Amino acid sequence: MQIWLAEDEAPQREHLAALLRQVCAARGVACELRAFEDGQALVDAYAPGVDLLLLDIDMPGLSGMDAAHRIRERDERVLIVFGTNLVARALDGYAVAALDFLVKPITENRLDDLLDKALRRLGPAAPAALTLHTQDTTAVVPVRDILYAETYGRKVRLHTVCETLDLRMTLSALESHLPENAFFRIHNACLVSLAHVDRISGCDVTIGGDILPVSRHKKRDFLKALTSFMGEQL
């Protein structure tokens, strides 16, 4: 996800950039972040393909609102969000179809809500790989290599064709970044890849040599999802 930020006050700019990286990491979202000290610099560098703009409305020179108008002339898709000290300025955002307004000081929880809204608006993209964070490192995992994921204590244990990783995120957060038609929750604590189903026997499914139980009340929907997925592969 490409996120561009324009904020003229250096401490605020650095703080927002750090918070954005934190909320993206917590959701397992690969984030390419660029930060600019004014609206003009952002406009000069801009090319379509950015997913989200976070603009301070009141900047010297080219304001965030003026920058948004110029960007919107070139790119109808990009999501635009304004940061402001004045709630009354929110009405100005209708002219550029702003996604949201963030009233300063901007908190981590507010940015997390914003990211959730942005991801839903951008739609269920199917990434080739996910950047995922464990306790000690960061791993880039091809989606096609994921076998299944399960809740393990307060973590998510991800099983792939190559390795097993304990992730610092919830199962729901992981699920939100995977193609909906290719993964299925066989019970509340286990998400499986339909592409790696080897065998179904009664209420059990075999994936990567592991036998996993399927919730009885989810079995019919699981079989329907698997049939639909296999049909799409033909």
Give the DSSP H/E element, type plus range, for residue 53: strand 52-56
| Amino acid, single-letter form, for residue 88 | A
Element (H, E) at 13: helix 10-26
Tokens of 116: 């959730």
Closest to 108 measured CA to CA, from 22, 169, 2: 22
Q: What was the pLDDT predicted at 189? A: 97
Say how far apart CA 167 and CA 151 lie, in whole Å: 10
The pLDDT value recorded for residue 93 is: 57
Distance CA 156, CA 166 (A): 6
For residue 16, which of 26, 28, 7, 29 has the smallest C-alpha distance? 7
Statement: residue 58 has pLDDT above 90:
no
**Domains 2-122 and 129-233 in one fold:** no
Res. 174: pLDDT tops 50: yes
- Residue 17: strand, helix, or coil: helix
Structure tokens at 228: 């639909």
Give me the percent of the chain exceeding a pLDDT of 90: 57
Q: Picking from 3-12, 112-121, 183-192, which range would have the lowest pLDDT averaged per residue?
A: 112-121
How confident is the model at residue 125, as a pLDDT? 53
pLDDT at 56 over 70: yes
Kind and range of the H or E element at 172?
helix 171-176
Q: How much is the mean pLDDT over the chain?
A: 88
| CA gap 28, 175 in Å, rounded | 10
Q: What token pair was written down for 233?
A: 């592969």
Tell me the per-residue pLDDT of 64-117, one tens digit each, with 9 for 90 and over.
Answer: 999 999 999 988 888 999 988 765 555 565 568 888 888 888 999 999 999 988
Going from N- to C-terminal start, the domains of the chain cover 2-122, 129-233
Per the model's pLDDT, the better-predicted residue between 69 and 120 turns out to be 69
CATH of domain 2-122: 3.40.50.2300
CB environment 222-231: b (16+ within 10 A), e (fewer): beebbeebee
Q: Is the domain defined by 129-233 classed in CATH 2.40.50.1020? A: yes
Question: What's the average model confidence in pLDDT over 36-62?
Answer: 92
What is the rounded distance in angstroms from the CA atom of residue 167 to the CA atom of residue 157? 6
Q: What is the pTM of this model?
A: 0.53
d(CA 123, CA 214): 28
124 has a pLDDT exceeding 70: no
Facing residues of 191 across strands?
Answer: 149, 185
The pLDDT value recorded for residue 100 is: 86
Residue 234: per-residue pLDDT: 44
Q: Can you say how many angstroms the Cα of residue 206 is from the centroid of all Cα atoms in its chain?
A: 29
What is the rounded average pLDDT of the residues 172-177? 90
